[in-house]
Structure 1
Protein backbone atom coordinates (compact mmCIF):
# COMPACT_ATOMS: atom_id res chain seq x y z
CA UNK A 1 0.00 0.00 0.00
CA UNK A 2 1.38 3.42 -0.97
CA UNK A 3 2.72 5.57 1.88
CA UNK A 4 0.56 8.53 0.80
CA UNK A 5 -2.57 6.37 0.94
CA UNK A 6 -1.69 5.12 4.44
CA UNK A 7 -0.98 8.67 5.57
CA UNK A 8 -4.25 9.99 4.12
CA UNK A 9 -6.37 7.26 5.71
CA UNK A 10 -4.65 7.65 9.09
CA UNK A 11 -4.97 11.43 9.12
CA UNK A 12 -8.65 11.31 8.17
CA UNK A 13 -9.31 8.66 10.82
CA UNK A 14 -7.32 10.51 13.46
CA UNK A 15 -8.81 13.95 12.86
CA UNK A 16 -12.43 12.81 12.53
CA UNK A 17 -12.66 10.00 15.12
CA UNK A 18 -13.34 12.35 18.03
CA UNK A 19 -14.86 15.29 16.17
CA UNK A 20 -18.63 14.97 15.66
CA UNK A 21 -18.34 14.58 11.89
CA UNK A 22 -18.10 10.77 11.37
CA UNK A 23 -14.74 9.13 10.75
CA UNK A 24 -16.25 6.02 9.14
CA UNK A 25 -18.30 8.17 6.78
CA UNK A 26 -15.23 10.08 5.63
CA UNK A 27 -13.24 6.88 5.08
CA UNK A 28 -16.02 5.29 3.05
CA UNK A 29 -16.20 8.44 0.94
CA UNK A 30 -12.45 8.35 0.35
CA UNK A 31 -12.75 5.11 -1.61
CA UNK A 32 -16.07 5.97 -3.25
CA UNK A 33 -15.28 9.49 -4.43
CA UNK A 34 -11.58 9.09 -5.35
CA UNK A 35 -9.60 6.59 -7.46
CA UNK A 36 -8.03 5.22 -4.27
CA UNK A 37 -9.05 1.65 -3.39
CA UNK A 38 -10.54 0.67 -0.05
CA UNK A 39 -7.75 0.66 2.52
CA UNK A 40 -8.66 -2.77 3.87
CA UNK A 41 -9.49 -4.14 7.28
CA UNK A 42 -5.93 -4.23 8.61
CA UNK A 43 -5.38 -0.51 8.08
CA UNK A 44 -8.79 0.23 9.60
CA UNK A 45 -7.90 -1.68 12.76
CA UNK A 46 -4.44 -0.09 12.98
CA UNK A 47 -5.80 3.44 12.54
CA UNK A 48 -8.39 2.79 15.26
CA UNK A 49 -5.66 1.55 17.59
CA UNK A 50 -3.80 4.79 16.98
CA UNK A 51 -6.83 6.86 17.96
CA UNK A 52 -7.32 4.60 20.98
CA UNK A 53 -3.81 5.44 22.13
CA UNK A 54 -4.54 9.15 21.75
CA UNK A 55 -7.68 9.14 23.90
CA UNK A 56 -6.02 6.97 26.54
CA UNK A 57 -3.11 9.41 26.79
CA UNK A 58 -5.35 12.47 26.88
CA UNK A 59 -7.62 11.08 29.61
CA UNK A 60 -4.91 9.07 31.34
CA UNK A 61 -5.98 9.91 34.91
CA UNK A 62 -9.52 8.63 34.26
CA UNK A 63 -8.31 5.58 32.35
CA UNK A 64 -5.83 4.66 35.05
CA UNK A 65 -8.57 4.97 37.69
CA UNK A 66 -10.97 2.79 35.69
CA UNK A 67 -8.34 0.10 35.13
CA UNK A 68 -7.40 0.18 38.81
CA UNK A 69 -11.09 -0.23 39.67
CA UNK A 70 -11.54 -3.41 37.60
CA UNK A 71 -10.40 -5.78 40.38
CA UNK A 72 -12.96 -4.22 42.75
CA UNK A 73 -15.62 -4.49 40.05
CA UNK A 74 -14.70 -8.14 39.46
CA UNK A 75 -15.74 -8.97 43.03
CA UNK A 76 -18.96 -6.99 42.74
CA UNK A 77 -17.74 -3.80 44.41
CA UNK A 78 -18.32 -0.31 43.02
CA UNK A 79 -17.08 1.58 46.05
CA UNK A 80 -14.30 3.54 44.35
CA UNK A 81 -14.54 6.20 41.61
CA UNK A 82 -12.50 3.99 39.29
CA UNK A 83 -14.68 0.91 39.79
CA UNK A 84 -17.79 3.02 39.27
CA UNK A 85 -16.42 4.52 36.06
CA UNK A 86 -15.36 1.10 34.73
CA UNK A 87 -18.84 -0.28 35.46
CA UNK A 88 -20.63 2.59 33.71
CA UNK A 89 -18.35 2.35 30.66
CA UNK A 90 -19.09 -1.37 30.36
CA UNK A 91 -22.84 -0.74 30.59
CA UNK A 92 -22.61 2.02 27.98
CA UNK A 93 -20.76 -0.30 25.59
CA UNK A 94 -23.19 -3.24 25.66
CA UNK A 95 -25.81 -1.80 23.23
CA UNK A 96 -23.30 -1.00 20.47
CA UNK A 97 -21.68 -4.45 20.76
CA UNK A 98 -25.05 -6.19 20.50
CA UNK A 99 -26.21 -4.00 17.61
CA UNK A 100 -22.87 -4.33 15.82
CA UNK A 101 -22.93 -8.11 15.98
CA UNK A 102 -26.52 -8.17 14.73
CA UNK A 103 -25.71 -5.95 11.76
CA UNK A 104 -22.55 -7.90 10.90
CA UNK A 105 -24.25 -11.30 11.04
CA UNK A 106 -27.21 -10.08 8.99
CA UNK A 107 -25.03 -8.36 6.39
CA UNK A 108 -26.99 -5.12 6.71
CA UNK A 109 -23.83 -3.19 7.62
CA UNK A 110 -22.49 -3.51 4.06
CA UNK A 111 -25.80 -2.42 2.56
CA UNK A 112 -25.66 0.85 4.51
CA UNK A 113 -22.23 1.86 3.16
CA UNK A 114 -23.59 4.15 0.44
CA UNK A 115 -23.05 7.82 -0.35
CA UNK A 116 -26.78 8.52 -0.01
CA UNK A 117 -26.97 6.99 3.47
CA UNK A 118 -23.92 8.96 4.59
CA UNK A 119 -25.36 12.18 3.14
CA UNK A 120 -28.70 11.81 4.91
CA UNK A 121 -27.03 10.80 8.18
CA UNK A 122 -24.69 13.80 8.00
CA UNK A 123 -27.62 16.20 7.69
CA UNK A 124 -30.13 14.52 10.00
CA UNK A 125 -27.84 13.79 12.93
CA UNK A 126 -26.05 17.09 12.48
CA UNK A 127 -29.37 18.91 12.97
CA UNK A 128 -30.20 16.70 15.95
CA UNK A 129 -26.84 17.65 17.48
CA UNK A 130 -27.60 21.33 16.90
CA UNK A 131 -31.02 20.98 18.54
CA UNK A 132 -29.65 19.15 21.58
CA UNK A 133 -26.76 21.60 21.96
CA UNK A 134 -28.95 24.66 21.46
CA UNK A 135 -31.80 23.69 23.77
CA UNK A 136 -30.23 21.17 26.16
CA UNK A 137 -29.67 22.25 29.75
CA UNK A 138 -26.15 22.37 31.20
CA UNK A 139 -26.89 21.40 34.79
CA UNK A 140 -25.06 18.05 34.84
CA UNK A 141 -21.36 17.23 35.04
CA UNK A 142 -19.45 13.99 34.58
CA UNK A 143 -19.83 13.40 38.33
CA UNK A 144 -23.59 13.02 37.79
CA UNK A 145 -23.18 10.13 35.35
CA UNK A 146 -25.19 7.17 36.63
CA UNK A 147 -26.42 3.76 35.56
CA UNK A 148 -29.57 5.08 33.87
CA UNK A 149 -27.68 7.71 31.88
CA UNK A 150 -24.93 5.25 30.94
CA UNK A 151 -27.49 2.86 29.46
CA UNK A 152 -29.23 5.67 27.59
CA UNK A 153 -25.93 6.93 26.18
CA UNK A 154 -25.13 3.37 25.14
CA UNK A 155 -28.34 3.29 23.10
CA UNK A 156 -27.46 6.62 21.52
CA UNK A 157 -24.00 5.27 20.70
CA UNK A 158 -25.47 2.26 18.92
CA UNK A 159 -27.07 4.62 16.37
CA UNK A 160 -23.52 5.46 15.24
CA UNK A 161 -23.39 2.14 13.38
CA UNK A 162 -25.23 3.99 10.61
CA UNK A 163 -22.40 5.37 8.42
CA UNK A 164 -22.21 9.15 8.55
CA UNK A 165 -23.73 9.42 12.02
CA UNK A 166 -20.50 9.90 14.04
CA UNK A 167 -19.97 7.93 17.23
CA UNK A 168 -18.70 10.92 19.16
CA UNK A 169 -21.36 13.19 17.65
CA UNK A 170 -24.32 11.01 18.57
CA UNK A 171 -23.09 10.34 22.12
CA UNK A 172 -22.45 14.06 22.63
CA UNK A 173 -25.96 14.68 21.30
CA UNK A 174 -27.41 12.22 23.81
CA UNK A 175 -25.41 13.69 26.69
CA UNK A 176 -26.41 17.27 25.81
CA UNK A 177 -30.04 16.21 25.53
CA UNK A 178 -29.76 14.79 29.06
CA UNK A 179 -28.44 18.10 30.36
CA UNK A 180 -24.68 17.53 30.53
CA UNK A 181 -22.49 20.58 29.96
CA UNK A 182 -20.66 20.68 26.62
CA UNK A 183 -17.22 19.78 27.94
CA UNK A 184 -18.59 17.02 30.18
CA UNK A 185 -20.68 15.62 27.32
CA UNK A 186 -17.60 15.52 25.11
CA UNK A 187 -15.51 13.88 27.84
CA UNK A 188 -18.09 11.14 28.40
CA UNK A 189 -18.24 10.52 24.65
CA UNK A 190 -14.44 10.25 24.48
CA UNK A 191 -14.21 7.87 27.44
CA UNK A 192 -16.98 5.72 25.94
CA UNK A 193 -14.89 5.38 22.79
CA UNK A 194 -12.21 3.39 24.65
CA UNK A 195 -14.14 0.15 25.33
CA UNK A 196 -16.00 0.54 22.03
CA UNK A 197 -12.77 0.75 20.00
CA UNK A 198 -11.31 -2.13 22.02
CA UNK A 199 -14.36 -4.30 21.35
CA UNK A 200 -14.55 -3.53 17.63
CA UNK A 201 -10.77 -3.89 17.27
CA UNK A 202 -10.82 -7.28 18.96
CA UNK A 203 -13.63 -8.47 16.68
CA UNK A 204 -11.98 -7.23 13.49
CA UNK A 205 -8.53 -8.47 14.52
CA UNK A 206 -9.77 -12.04 14.22
CA UNK A 207 -10.27 -11.47 10.49
CA UNK A 208 -6.99 -9.56 10.11
CA UNK A 209 -4.85 -12.18 11.88
CA UNK A 210 -5.48 -14.76 9.17
CA UNK A 211 -4.03 -12.55 6.45
CA UNK A 212 -1.27 -10.74 8.37
CA UNK A 213 2.24 -10.62 6.93
CA UNK A 214 5.29 -8.37 7.25
CA UNK A 215 3.99 -5.83 4.73
CA UNK A 216 0.60 -5.54 6.42
CA UNK A 217 2.24 -5.20 9.82
CA UNK A 218 4.51 -2.43 8.53
CA UNK A 219 1.63 -0.54 6.89
CA UNK A 220 -0.49 -1.00 10.00
CA UNK A 221 2.24 0.35 12.27
CA UNK A 222 2.57 3.48 10.12
CA UNK A 223 -1.22 3.97 10.09
CA UNK A 224 -1.35 3.65 13.88
CA UNK A 225 1.42 6.22 14.39
CA UNK A 226 -0.05 8.77 11.98
CA UNK A 227 -3.58 8.41 13.37
CA UNK A 228 -2.32 8.66 16.96
CA UNK A 229 -0.83 12.11 16.44
CA UNK A 230 -3.74 13.35 14.33
CA UNK A 231 -6.28 12.17 16.93
CA UNK A 232 -4.33 13.68 19.81
CA UNK A 233 -4.21 17.02 18.00
CA UNK A 234 -7.95 16.90 17.26
CA UNK A 235 -8.75 16.05 20.89
CA UNK A 236 -6.64 18.88 22.27
CA UNK A 237 -8.14 21.45 19.91
CA UNK A 238 -11.76 20.36 20.39
CA UNK A 239 -11.61 20.20 24.20
CA UNK A 240 -10.03 23.65 24.32
CA UNK A 241 -12.47 25.17 21.85
CA UNK A 242 -15.46 23.86 23.83
CA UNK A 243 -14.66 26.36 26.57
CA UNK A 244 -15.90 29.15 24.30
CA UNK A 245 -17.41 27.59 21.14
CA UNK A 246 -20.56 25.50 20.67
CA UNK A 247 -20.94 22.51 18.33
CA UNK A 248 -22.57 24.71 15.65
CA UNK A 249 -19.47 24.91 13.38
CA UNK A 250 -19.41 21.10 13.17
CA UNK A 251 -23.13 21.07 12.38
CA UNK A 252 -22.67 23.57 9.56
CA UNK A 253 -19.88 21.43 8.11
CA UNK A 254 -22.03 18.30 8.35
CA UNK A 255 -25.03 19.90 6.62
CA UNK A 256 -22.96 21.36 3.78
CA UNK A 257 -21.14 18.06 3.22
CA UNK A 258 -24.41 16.13 3.44
CA UNK A 259 -26.06 18.32 0.78
CA UNK A 260 -23.08 17.89 -1.53
CA UNK A 261 -23.13 14.13 -1.03
CA UNK A 262 -26.86 13.87 -1.75
CA UNK A 263 -26.35 15.94 -4.90
CA UNK A 264 -23.65 13.49 -5.96
CA UNK A 265 -25.68 10.40 -5.01
CA UNK A 266 -28.86 11.43 -6.84
CA UNK A 267 -27.27 13.08 -9.87
Structure 2
Protein backbone atom coordinates (compact mmCIF):
# COMPACT_ATOMS: atom_id res chain seq x y z
CA UNK A 1 0.00 0.00 0.00
CA UNK A 2 1.23 3.49 -0.81
CA UNK A 3 1.09 6.39 1.65
CA UNK A 4 -1.36 8.24 -0.58
CA UNK A 5 -3.63 5.21 -0.54
CA UNK A 6 -3.47 4.90 3.26
CA UNK A 7 -4.21 8.60 3.80
CA UNK A 8 -7.07 8.74 1.29
CA UNK A 9 -8.71 5.63 2.73
CA UNK A 10 -8.35 6.98 6.26
CA UNK A 11 -10.15 10.16 5.19
CA UNK A 12 -12.89 8.16 3.47
CA UNK A 13 -13.38 5.99 6.54
CA UNK A 14 -13.72 9.01 8.82
CA UNK A 15 -16.16 10.76 6.51
CA UNK A 16 -18.45 7.80 5.86
CA UNK A 17 -18.45 5.57 8.94
CA UNK A 18 -21.35 7.26 10.69
CA UNK A 19 -23.39 8.21 7.64
CA UNK A 20 -25.98 5.74 6.26
CA UNK A 21 -23.99 5.26 3.07
CA UNK A 22 -21.67 2.35 4.04
CA UNK A 23 -18.05 3.11 4.87
CA UNK A 24 -16.97 -0.40 3.84
CA UNK A 25 -18.53 0.11 0.40
CA UNK A 26 -16.78 3.46 0.05
CA UNK A 27 -13.40 2.00 0.96
CA UNK A 28 -13.95 -0.83 -1.51
CA UNK A 29 -15.08 1.52 -4.30
CA UNK A 30 -12.37 4.13 -3.63
CA UNK A 31 -9.70 1.43 -3.73
CA UNK A 32 -11.03 0.04 -7.00
CA UNK A 33 -11.46 3.35 -8.84
CA UNK A 34 -8.32 5.20 -7.74
CA UNK A 35 -5.87 2.44 -6.87
CA UNK A 36 -7.01 -0.51 -8.96
CA UNK A 37 -7.17 -2.98 -6.08
CA UNK A 38 -8.85 -3.80 -2.77
CA UNK A 39 -7.49 -2.69 0.61
CA UNK A 40 -9.35 -5.63 2.14
CA UNK A 41 -11.94 -6.21 4.85
CA UNK A 42 -9.29 -6.29 7.58
CA UNK A 43 -8.07 -2.79 6.68
CA UNK A 44 -11.65 -1.55 6.97
CA UNK A 45 -12.12 -3.24 10.35
CA UNK A 46 -8.92 -1.80 11.80
CA UNK A 47 -9.51 1.78 10.61
CA UNK A 48 -12.92 1.53 12.25
CA UNK A 49 -11.06 1.42 15.56
CA UNK A 50 -10.23 5.07 14.91
CA UNK A 51 -13.81 6.10 14.29
CA UNK A 52 -14.97 4.01 17.24
CA UNK A 53 -12.44 5.77 19.47
CA UNK A 54 -14.18 8.97 18.40
CA UNK A 55 -17.48 7.50 19.64
CA UNK A 56 -15.91 6.54 22.97
CA UNK A 57 -14.66 10.07 23.52
CA UNK A 58 -17.74 11.87 22.21
CA UNK A 59 -20.11 9.79 24.33
CA UNK A 60 -17.68 9.22 27.22
CA UNK A 61 -20.03 10.58 29.91
CA UNK A 62 -22.99 8.56 28.63
CA UNK A 63 -20.93 5.40 28.25
CA UNK A 64 -19.42 5.70 31.73
CA UNK A 65 -22.84 6.37 33.28
CA UNK A 66 -24.42 3.38 31.50
CA UNK A 67 -21.51 1.07 32.35
CA UNK A 68 -21.44 2.13 36.00
CA UNK A 69 -25.20 1.75 36.38
CA UNK A 70 -25.22 -1.62 34.64
CA UNK A 71 -22.48 -3.02 36.92
CA UNK A 72 -24.23 -1.60 39.99
CA UNK A 73 -27.54 -3.06 38.85
CA UNK A 74 -26.09 -6.57 38.87
CA UNK A 75 -26.09 -6.44 42.66
CA UNK A 76 -28.49 -3.60 43.48
CA UNK A 77 -32.08 -4.27 42.43
CA UNK A 78 -33.11 -0.67 43.09
CA UNK A 79 -31.37 0.63 39.94
CA UNK A 80 -32.67 -2.01 37.54
CA UNK A 81 -35.62 0.09 36.48
CA UNK A 82 -33.36 2.91 35.27
CA UNK A 83 -32.86 3.59 31.58
CA UNK A 84 -29.07 3.40 31.90
CA UNK A 85 -29.19 -0.12 33.38
CA UNK A 86 -31.59 -1.31 30.70
CA UNK A 87 -29.53 0.37 27.97
CA UNK A 88 -26.51 -1.62 29.08
CA UNK A 89 -28.43 -4.83 28.42
CA UNK A 90 -29.86 -3.49 25.17
CA UNK A 91 -26.35 -2.90 23.82
CA UNK A 92 -25.09 -6.30 24.99
CA UNK A 93 -28.00 -8.27 23.53
CA UNK A 94 -28.11 -6.14 20.37
CA UNK A 95 -24.43 -6.90 19.72
CA UNK A 96 -24.92 -10.67 19.64
CA UNK A 97 -26.24 -11.02 16.05
CA UNK A 98 -23.30 -9.30 14.36
CA UNK A 99 -20.87 -11.31 16.48
CA UNK A 100 -22.49 -14.61 15.53
CA UNK A 101 -22.89 -13.85 11.82
CA UNK A 102 -19.45 -12.26 11.62
CA UNK A 103 -17.90 -15.44 13.03
CA UNK A 104 -19.94 -17.82 10.87
CA UNK A 105 -19.40 -15.96 7.60
CA UNK A 106 -15.93 -14.51 8.11
CA UNK A 107 -14.50 -16.02 4.92
CA UNK A 108 -17.40 -14.87 2.75
CA UNK A 109 -17.24 -11.36 4.22
CA UNK A 110 -13.59 -11.08 3.22
CA UNK A 111 -14.11 -12.48 -0.29
CA UNK A 112 -17.40 -12.80 -2.19
CA UNK A 113 -19.20 -10.08 -0.20
CA UNK A 114 -16.70 -7.53 -1.55
CA UNK A 115 -17.68 -8.15 -5.18
CA UNK A 116 -18.56 -4.75 -6.63
CA UNK A 117 -21.64 -6.08 -8.44
CA UNK A 118 -23.05 -7.02 -5.05
CA UNK A 119 -21.86 -3.79 -3.41
CA UNK A 120 -23.48 -1.55 -6.03
CA UNK A 121 -26.75 -3.51 -6.01
CA UNK A 122 -26.85 -3.37 -2.22
CA UNK A 123 -26.23 0.38 -2.18
CA UNK A 124 -29.20 0.93 -4.48
CA UNK A 125 -31.52 -1.70 -2.99
CA UNK A 126 -31.13 -0.59 0.60
CA UNK A 127 -31.50 3.05 -0.45
CA UNK A 128 -35.14 2.28 -1.21
CA UNK A 129 -35.54 0.45 2.10
CA UNK A 130 -34.17 3.52 3.90
CA UNK A 131 -36.52 5.78 1.91
CA UNK A 132 -39.51 3.63 2.86
CA UNK A 133 -38.53 3.74 6.53
CA UNK A 134 -38.15 7.51 6.42
CA UNK A 135 -41.57 7.85 4.77
CA UNK A 136 -43.43 5.28 6.87
CA UNK A 137 -41.91 5.74 10.33
CA UNK A 138 -44.01 7.88 12.67
CA UNK A 139 -41.02 8.91 14.83
CA UNK A 140 -43.06 9.11 18.01
CA UNK A 141 -40.78 7.14 20.34
CA UNK A 142 -37.76 8.54 22.19
CA UNK A 143 -34.96 6.86 24.13
CA UNK A 144 -37.17 6.69 27.22
CA UNK A 145 -39.54 4.42 25.26
CA UNK A 146 -36.76 2.11 24.06
CA UNK A 147 -37.32 -1.60 24.77
CA UNK A 148 -35.41 -4.86 24.42
CA UNK A 149 -37.33 -5.69 21.24
CA UNK A 150 -35.94 -2.53 19.66
CA UNK A 151 -32.41 -3.48 20.63
CA UNK A 152 -32.76 -6.97 19.15
CA UNK A 153 -34.28 -5.75 15.86
CA UNK A 154 -31.63 -3.05 15.45
CA UNK A 155 -28.97 -5.61 16.37
CA UNK A 156 -30.00 -7.84 13.47
CA UNK A 157 -30.12 -4.78 11.21
CA UNK A 158 -26.55 -3.97 12.24
CA UNK A 159 -25.49 -7.52 11.34
CA UNK A 160 -26.68 -6.97 7.78
CA UNK A 161 -23.91 -4.38 7.42
CA UNK A 162 -21.40 -7.22 7.23
CA UNK A 163 -22.22 -6.94 3.52
CA UNK A 164 -20.52 -3.80 2.15
CA UNK A 165 -23.17 -1.46 0.80
CA UNK A 166 -25.78 -2.03 3.50
CA UNK A 167 -24.23 0.40 6.02
CA UNK A 168 -24.19 -0.30 9.75
CA UNK A 169 -25.64 3.10 10.61
CA UNK A 170 -28.00 2.89 7.63
CA UNK A 171 -29.31 -0.49 8.73
CA UNK A 172 -29.83 0.53 12.35
CA UNK A 173 -31.38 3.89 11.40
CA UNK A 174 -33.75 2.11 9.02
CA UNK A 175 -34.78 -0.40 11.67
CA UNK A 176 -35.20 2.36 14.23
CA UNK A 177 -37.47 4.35 11.94
CA UNK A 178 -39.55 1.26 11.18
CA UNK A 179 -39.93 0.86 14.96
CA UNK A 180 -41.23 4.45 15.07
CA UNK A 181 -38.19 5.78 16.93
CA UNK A 182 -37.11 9.34 16.25
CA UNK A 183 -34.08 9.69 13.97
CA UNK A 184 -31.99 11.11 16.83
CA UNK A 185 -32.94 8.25 19.17
CA UNK A 186 -32.09 5.66 16.54
CA UNK A 187 -28.78 7.39 15.81
CA UNK A 188 -27.75 7.56 19.49
CA UNK A 189 -28.48 3.89 20.07
CA UNK A 190 -26.70 3.08 16.81
CA UNK A 191 -23.54 4.76 18.07
CA UNK A 192 -23.64 2.82 21.36
CA UNK A 193 -24.50 -0.47 19.65
CA UNK A 194 -21.48 -0.20 17.37
CA UNK A 195 -18.93 -0.09 20.19
CA UNK A 196 -18.64 -3.82 21.09
CA UNK A 197 -18.92 -5.05 17.50
CA UNK A 198 -16.49 -2.61 15.91
CA UNK A 199 -13.89 -2.83 18.67
CA UNK A 200 -13.88 -6.64 18.67
CA UNK A 201 -13.82 -6.79 14.86
CA UNK A 202 -10.92 -4.35 14.70
CA UNK A 203 -8.91 -6.15 17.37
CA UNK A 204 -9.39 -9.58 15.79
CA UNK A 205 -8.46 -8.19 12.37
CA UNK A 206 -5.14 -6.70 13.50
CA UNK A 207 -3.24 -9.86 12.64
CA UNK A 208 -4.84 -10.30 9.23
CA UNK A 209 -4.30 -6.74 8.02
CA UNK A 210 -0.52 -7.16 7.87
CA UNK A 211 -0.49 -10.53 6.14
CA UNK A 212 0.97 -10.64 2.62
CA UNK A 213 -1.63 -9.30 0.23
CA UNK A 214 -3.55 -11.75 -1.93
CA UNK A 215 -3.85 -10.97 -5.64
CA UNK A 216 -5.80 -7.74 -6.07
CA UNK A 217 -5.36 -6.58 -2.47
CA UNK A 218 -2.97 -4.17 -0.76
CA UNK A 219 -1.26 -4.69 2.59
CA UNK A 220 -0.37 -1.60 4.67
CA UNK A 221 2.70 -1.17 6.85
CA UNK A 222 2.29 -0.65 10.57
CA UNK A 223 2.97 3.08 10.22
CA UNK A 224 0.43 3.44 7.41
CA UNK A 225 -2.19 1.61 9.46
CA UNK A 226 -1.62 3.91 12.43
CA UNK A 227 -1.83 7.07 10.32
CA UNK A 228 -4.97 5.93 8.50
CA UNK A 229 -6.65 5.06 11.81
CA UNK A 230 -5.70 8.41 13.39
CA UNK A 231 -7.06 10.30 10.38
CA UNK A 232 -10.29 8.31 10.61
CA UNK A 233 -10.52 9.21 14.31
CA UNK A 234 -10.16 12.97 13.81
CA UNK A 235 -12.58 13.21 10.90
CA UNK A 236 -14.98 10.72 12.46
CA UNK A 237 -15.25 12.78 15.64
CA UNK A 238 -16.44 15.78 13.64
CA UNK A 239 -18.82 13.57 11.65
CA UNK A 240 -20.59 12.39 14.82
CA UNK A 241 -21.52 15.92 15.88
CA UNK A 242 -22.62 16.81 12.37
CA UNK A 243 -24.82 13.73 11.94
CA UNK A 244 -26.60 14.17 15.28
CA UNK A 245 -27.43 17.77 14.39
CA UNK A 246 -28.47 16.81 10.89
CA UNK A 247 -30.86 13.98 11.77
CA UNK A 248 -32.53 16.13 14.42
CA UNK A 249 -33.75 18.57 11.75
CA UNK A 250 -33.61 16.83 8.36
CA UNK A 251 -34.90 13.72 6.64
CA UNK A 252 -32.61 10.97 5.32
CA UNK A 253 -33.63 11.38 1.68
CA UNK A 254 -30.34 13.11 0.82
CA UNK A 255 -28.50 9.90 1.70
CA UNK A 256 -31.02 7.86 -0.28
CA UNK A 257 -30.29 9.87 -3.43
CA UNK A 258 -26.55 9.68 -2.82
CA UNK A 259 -26.64 5.88 -2.41
CA UNK A 260 -28.58 5.43 -5.66
CA UNK A 261 -26.24 7.77 -7.55
CA UNK A 262 -23.11 6.03 -6.23
CA UNK A 263 -24.50 2.57 -6.92
CA UNK A 264 -25.43 3.60 -10.46
CA UNK A 265 -21.95 5.04 -11.02
CA UNK A 266 -20.27 1.83 -9.91
CA UNK A 267 -22.59 -0.24 -12.11
CA UNK A 268 -21.75 1.91 -15.13
CA UNK A 269 -18.02 1.56 -14.46
CA UNK A 270 -18.41 -2.20 -14.20
CA UNK A 271 -20.47 -2.43 -17.38
CA UNK A 272 -17.93 -0.41 -19.34
CA UNK A 273 -15.02 -2.44 -17.97
CA UNK A 274 -13.44 0.61 -16.33
CA UNK A 275 -13.13 -1.30 -13.07
CA UNK A 276 -13.34 -5.00 -12.24
CA UNK A 277 -15.76 -6.51 -9.76
CA UNK A 278 -13.17 -8.45 -7.76
* Structure 1 and Structure 2 fold alike (TM over 0.5): yes
**Per-residue CA distance 1:201-230 (angstroms, 9 max, x = gap):** 23213535889xxx9332222122110111
Q: Deviations over 1:52-77 (max 9, x none)?
A: 11112222222112222342365596
Match of 2:245 among 218, 240, 243: 240
User: Which one is further off, 124-133 or 37-46?
Assistant: 37-46
Counterpart contact for 2:138–2:180, Cα < 8 Å: yes
Gaps of 5+ in 1: none
Contact 1:43–1:223 under 8 Å retained in 2: no
RMSD, aligned α-carbons: 2.3
CA displacement 1:88-136 (0-9 Å, x = unmatched): 101111011111111115x365112111111111111111111101110
Does residue 258 in structure 1 map to residue 263 in structure 2? yes
Match of 2:21 in 1: 21
In structure 2, the partner of 1:158 is 159
For 2:225, which of 216, 220, 237 is the aligned residue? 220
Distance, in Å, in 2 between the alignment partners of 1:259 and 1:217 is 35
Q: Do residues 5 (structure 1) and 5 (structure 2) align? A: yes
Q: Give SS of 1:155's match.
A: helix
| Conservation of the 8 A alpha-carbon contact between 1:10 and 1:226 | yes
CA separation of 1:143/1:222 partners in 2, compared to 1, >3 Å: closer, same or farther?
same
How far apart, in 2, do the equivalents of 1:5 and 1:55 lie? 25
Contact persistence 1:52–1:197 (CA under 8 A): yes
Q: Is the Cα contact below 8 Å between 1:123 and 1:255 reproduced in 2?
A: yes
Distance in 1, matches of 2:19 and 2:183, equals 13
Q: C-alpha separation between the residues in 2 aligned to 1:157 and 1:193? A: 8
Count of aligned pairs: 263
What is aligned with 2:215?
Answer: none
Aligned counterpart, 2:217: none
Q: Give the TM-score of the pair, scaled to structure 1.
A: 0.89
In 2, the alpha carbon distance for the partners of 1:85 and 1:91 equals 10
Quick one: distance in 1 between partners of 2:42 and 2:73?
33
- Residues of 2 paired with 1:146 and 1:206: CA distance? 37
Q: SS at 1:112's partner residue?
A: helix
Structure 1 residues 42, 134: closer, same or farther in 2, change over 3 A?
A: closer
Which stretches of structure 1, 4 residues or longer, exceed 3 Å deviation after superposition? 36-46, 72-78, 206-211
1:24/1:164 contact within 8 Å kept: yes
